Each structure stands twice: as C-alpha cells, then as structure tokens.
Structure 1
Amino acid sequence: MTALREIRADHDGRTIVLYQAYPPAIADAALAAGRFTAPFGFHRMTWIKPSFRWLMHRSNWAQKPGQTRVLAVRITREGWEEALARAVLTTAHPDEVARAEVHVQWDPERSLRGAALNHYSIQVGVGRSLVRRYAEEWVVGLTDLTPQVQRIAALVRGGQAAKAQRLLPPERPYPLPAATARRLGLG
C-alpha cells in the first residue's frame, strides 16, 4: 500500500502555523522584535514544517544543539500557498531543483515517541530569493513553544502519552488548489 501524503496543520481562514527550531540567539531576537531579524539567516534556505510532531522528531524535542528553542510561526495562507505554487519536489530533475525558489520534500510523519508512521508530512524549504518576503511579509506572529515542548517531552518520557497527546497543537487537513496539490504529489 502506498503511503498517504497530506498537509496537516493548525490553520484558520487567513493563516497557517508552521514550526521551526532555532538556537536561543535567533529565537530571542525574533521574539523581542516580533519578527525575524539578525542573526536570522536571510541569505540561506529556511525549512518550515506544519507538522509539530515531525519537528519534535527533527529537533529531539528541542534538545538537539542549535535547535533548543521551538517557535510557532503564524504566516498568511496567501504566503504559504505562494510558496507551494513556486515549489519543486526535491525528487525532481537536479537542474529543476537547483533553479527552484522553494523545495518540497515528503518525510514520514512521526508518532509522539518518534516512530515513523505510514503517512507522509510536508517539509518546505523557502529559498534565498523568498526568505525576506517570508520573514517580513508572510509572518504575522511568533510564539515560543519551548516550555510546552519541554512539558510534552517530560510526559512522554514519564509514560504519560495520553496527557502529552492532549497538549499537542491541533492539526487538520489543509486544502490546496487542485493544480498545486497535483504538482506536489497530493492528487
């Protein structure tokens, strides 16, 4: 059976929440300014993920060096959909990937304990040509989730997965325009 690809996210009619993990210097500066600012890297690709559990796997529950602060980044749906409309799958021809402003890859979604599940979650790499727009136009809010991440991780380690599950951010299917969905391997 082929694994299911689906964008699941916390979203409303105007915005979507993405997750990123940073070192304290970047997170503190961003939270103080209410937007991304130096030392955030405006000249490199930044990866954004709508799956909280996938980022927890990637950052080892905010314990991986350089990824000890977890931010919920609320961006406009317009920005998110513009990024996806410009995206190329990382499995495309290398020349096409090299020219792309946005990269998309699908990775196994993760359980609360980090096990790979039988469906895939989207990871979106916003390229250098769009990073400033992402940071300065699309982002409408930043929230430090590090204390919540630490609490959930402690509950999981303590064998209280049901309590931990209740603290996860809500995620539900995110609808995309049909043409974009097909290009990204969703249809």
Structure 2
Amino acid sequence: MQNHTLTPLEVPQRQIRAVYDDTTIRVYQAYSDAVADAALAKGTFVSPPFKMERMTWIKPSFLWMMYRAGWGFKDEGQKRILAIDITREGFEWALAHGCLSHADNTMSKEEWEAKKNASPVRIQWDPERDLFLQPLAHRAIQIGLSKKAVDLYVHQWIQRITDVTPLAHEIYALTQDGQVDEATARQPLETPYILQS
C-alpha cells in the first residue's frame, strides 16, 4: 500500500484513488437491509433481491459514497454501506470496456453514441467530497456496470463484502461533534491507483 497522501493542490482533476492491495481494490455501494443481508450471508449479491438487469454503480471513493447515501441516513434503499473488495483484473476490465456517461470533445456525438451502445460499462467523474460532503475541485470516479459486466462482478470479481455502516455512522458523529481530526483518522486511506497493465 502507498502511504503518501496528496494535498488538494497536488491532486489531478481526474484520478482514481482507492483502498487497494496487490490483488483487490475496494469499492462501495449502498443498499437496503434485504440486499445487504443477503449479500453478506452469501459473500456476493443475490438475485433477488439484487437486480441483475439494472445498472449497478460502484465507487472507490468512501466520501463520495457518503455523499450519495447521506452517511446511510438518506433513505431505506441506501441505509447499509457495503465495502466490496473486487479483483484488480475485474476493475481494470471495467475501465477498459467503459464509455463516458457524457460525450466529451475527444469524439463526435455519433462515435460516442455507438461506443456507449456497445459498452457494458459507464464511466462518470463527479466532484470529490470532503468530510462535510462539500464538493472539491478534483473528481472521483463512478463506474456503472450493466449486462455482461454485472454478471462478471457478481460471479467472478467480488472477493469479500464488509458492512461499513457502523464506521460511516461513527465518522459522521465525529464530524457533527466537531472532531475533525478524529473523523479524518477514521477514514479509509485512499491512495492513487496504479494500473497493473
């Protein structure tokens, strides 16, 4: 694991930062009790209640997940925060087979539409969040999996699922009490991700 934490001024606008080791990378998702309990019992997602036919978004950024799920307090469908360790090969397969969610200036709209329709993965870059869930200047990646990618995710990539809802609630409580240093220390240490290939 890398130990150097970049200061905000050093962070590139688009950079994948994550908890990872030689074989796995951690991503986050938030679900209802039914989906979370079934996944924790089985070690992967179980359909039903998990919907294989829907696009499922994975996020390496803990704080972006907290923003999306409101620390697990936003709604019943996102009350359980799961940390999912997946193979780095799977993660990098998703990156290699992804298409940006929105067209940019690197290709025509027609080229982007064709790529989007052919791709089972969407890539989206959204403003990273701080401990108070305020937007930062740099971005965090979200990866949307559909079709073949969801099947690979559920049946091959997932190595371990951990319920980190108590951790989320603890960090949130510390921020509410003004204990910013303590809250920062409890955060998962995310470092710049280095591609294997």
TM-score by length of 1: 0.90
Tell me the distance in 2 between the aligned counterparts of 1:177 and 1:19: 21
- For 1:1-187, list aligned pairs within 5 A: 4-38=13-47, 39-65=49-75, 66-92=77-103, 93-176=112-195
Q: How many residues align?
A: 178
Q: CA deviation at 1:111?
A: 0.3
Tell me the distance in 2 between the aligned counterparts of 1:22 and 1:73: 12
Structure 2 unaligned regions, length at least 5:
1-11, 104-111
- CA RMSD in angstroms comes to 1.7
Look up the equivalent residue of 2:134 and give its one-letter code.
Answer: A
Tell me the distance in 2 between the aligned counterparts of 1:88 and 1:177: 20
Q: CA deviation at 1:136?
A: 1.2
- The range that moved more, 56-65 or 127-136, is 127-136
Q: 1:91–1:177: structure 2 CA closer, same or farther, 3 Å change rule?
A: farther
Deviations 1:80-134, CA, capped at 9 Å, x for gaps:
0001000011123334323321000100000000110010110000112221110
Look up the equivalent residue of 2:17 and give its one-letter code.
Answer: R
Deviations 1:133-186, CA, capped at 9 Å, x for gaps:
1011000000000111111111111111111111111100001368xxxxxxxx
The percent identity for this pair of structures is 47
Tell me the distance in 2 between the aligned counterparts of 1:175 and 1:154: 33
Structure 1 unaligned regions, length at least 5:
179-187
Tell me the distance in 2 between the aligned counterparts of 1:122 and 1:50: 7
The secondary structure found in structure 1 opposite 2:168 is helix
Look up the equivalent residue of 1:12 and give its one-letter code.
Answer: D
The equivalent of 2:4 in structure 1 is none
TM-score by length of 2: 0.86
Tell me the distance in 2 between the aligned counterparts of 1:31 and 1:140: 12
